[in-house]
Amino acid sequence: MKRKVLVLEDEENIRSFVVLNLKRAGYEIVQAGSGEEALEKYDENPDIAVAVLDVMLPGIDGYEVCRALRARGYGAGVIMLTARTQEADKVTGLMTGADDYVTKPFSVVELGARVDALYRRVSNNPFADEDIIISGPFKLNLRAREVQKNGVKIDLTQIEYGILKAFMQNIGKALSRDDLLEMVWGHHYVGELKIVDVNIRRLRIKIEDNPAAPQYIVTVRGYGYMWEA
**Cβ contact 226:186 at 8 Å:** no
Helix, strand, or coil (residue 31): strand
CB atoms within 10 A of CB 111: 19
Nearest to 21 by CA among 135, 97, 114: 114
Burial class from Cβ neighbours inside 10 Å (0-12, 13-18, 19+) for residue 222 reads: exposed
pLDDT of residue 68: 93
Using N-to-C axis directions, what is the helix angle for 194-207 and 158-168, rounded to 10°?
80
Digit-by-digit pLDDT tens for the chain (229 residues) are 568 999 999 999 999 989 998 998 889 999 999 999 999 999 999 999 999 999 889 889 999 999 999 988 888 889 998 876 666 666 777 778 888 888 888 888 788 888 988 888 777 644 333 478 888 899 998 877 889 999 899 999 888 999 999 999 898 899 999 999 988 887 677 677 888 999 999 999 999 999 999 999 999 998 999 999 7
pLDDT of residue 121: 78
**Cβ contact 15:7 at 8 Å:** yes
User: What type of residue is 97?
Assistant: G
CA dihedral 143, 162, 219, 87 (to 10 degrees): -160
Alpha-helical regions (H) of the chain: 12-24, 35-44, 62-71, 87-95, 108-123, 158-168, 177-180, 194-207
Length of the chain: 229
Going by their DSSP bridges, the two strands 146-149 and 175-176 should be labelled as unpaired
pLDDT of residue 88: 66
**Cβ contact 34:10 at 8 Å:** yes
pLDDT of residue 99: 87
pLDDT of residue 89: 66
Distance from C-alpha of 224 to C-alpha of 115, rounded to nearest angstrom: 26
pLDDT of residue 86: 61
* Secondary structure letter of residue 109 according to DSSP: H
Distance from C-alpha of 35 to C-alpha of 136, rounded to nearest angstrom: 41
Distance from C-alpha of 5 to C-alpha of 3, rounded to nearest angstrom: 7
pLDDT of residue 126: 42
